[in-house]
Structure 1
Amino acid sequence: MDTVGTGGQTFFDQIGGLPTIQRVVAKFYEGVVDDPILGPMYPVDDMAGAQERLTHFLAQYWGGPSTYSEQRGHPRLRMRHAPYAVTREARDHWLALFRAGLDEVDLTPEQDAEFWSYVTRAADFMINADS
């Protein structure tokens, strides 16, 4: 992923940096708590930590600070999610909540499409169980 766009700005910078990603992730996690499929997969006693990790992961992915790797090492997304049955239904719930998060921020249609494309591919990649 080439995160540097026109004018030398990263996609992270173009979309408004950490505040934008924090808003997306906060809205996403608002929905996770009560979601019947996703809620049980998330650590009730560490929901704030999970939210922080996703925020740092996305920030780093899009060209922001490398806080995620500094704190957690390589993302190893499939390995980290292996203990959970990520079905197509779980993917659909995850994407619906993430869509709500993206709808909370003021991205251009092109930025939204790029962000959405990435999270859709990532969600598809995480499927590890049959429905």
Structure 2
Amino acid sequence: MNTEENPQPTLYELIGGEEKLRGLVDRFYDLMDLEHGYAGIRALHPTTLEGSRDKLFWFLSGWTGGPNLFIERFGHPRLRARHLPYAIGTSERDQWLHCMNQAMQEVEIDPALQAHLQKAFAETADWMRNTHG
């Protein structure tokens, strides 16, 4: 039985819930579409980004402690396995991280929370690498 009167808020709550998380994901994909510096990761995505937007939002929702929308639809995320068909090297990792960092700044995620998320995203992005370069 949980007797804590003030449980720690989830990352999902700290980010600002569904609306703010959706805004972050949308800005991330808008930047990927607009900024030449993210062309390498944009090329790994379909022509339309709507499905990618939804999948990242659904994944991040559960990953941050909100509703497990991705798992409800697709089961376990199996991130690395789902990304193996795509050549992900250091350049793609770095582009993804820079794009997400820029998106977090532009949607005004709290700086301390940004630092926490950057560390977690960097660990995951590095683990996703499956090729050199």
- The separation in 2 between residues aligned to 1:25 and 1:98, in whole angstroms, is 8
Aligned to 2:29: 29
1:63 equivalent to 2:65? Answer yes
Q: CA deviation at 1:126?
A: 0.6
Aligned to 1:3: none
Distance 1:109 1:33, change over 3 A: closer
Query: Any idea what SS the aligned residue of 1:102 has?
Result: helix
Aligned to 1:119: 121
Deviations 1:16-53 (A, max 9, x none): 111111111111101222532112100114x1011111
- The separation in 2 between residues aligned to 1:39 and 1:9, in whole angstroms, is 33
Could you tell which deviates more after superposition, 35-44 or 69-78? 35-44
Q: CA deviation at 1:8?
A: 4.0
- The separation in 2 between residues aligned to 1:14 and 1:89, in whole angstroms, is 30
Instruction: Find 1:87's aligned residue among 74, 83, 89.
Output: 89
Equivalent position amino acid for 1:36 in 2: A
Alignment of 1:32-51 (within 5 A): 32-34=32-34, 35-45=38-48, 47-51=49-53
- The separation in 1 between residues aligned to 2:107 and 2:7, in whole angstroms, is 22
Equivalent position amino acid for 2:116 in 1: E
Aligned to 2:12: 12
RMSD: 1.4
Q: Is the 8 A contact 2:10 2:65 kept in 1?
A: yes
Aligned to 2:3: none
- The separation in 1 between residues aligned to 2:107 and 2:32, in whole angstroms, is 18
Query: Any idea what SS the aligned residue of 1:33 has?
Result: helix
- The separation in 1 between residues aligned to 2:70 and 2:108, in whole angstroms, is 24
Instruction: Find 1:103's aligned residue among 99, 102, 105.
Output: 105
Between structure 1 and structure 2, the one with the greater Rg is: 2
Q: Normalised by the size of structure 1, how large is the TM-score?
A: 0.88
Equivalent position amino acid for 2:39 in 1: P
- The separation in 2 between residues aligned to 1:128 and 1:52, in whole angstroms, is 24
Gaps of 5+ in 1: 1-5
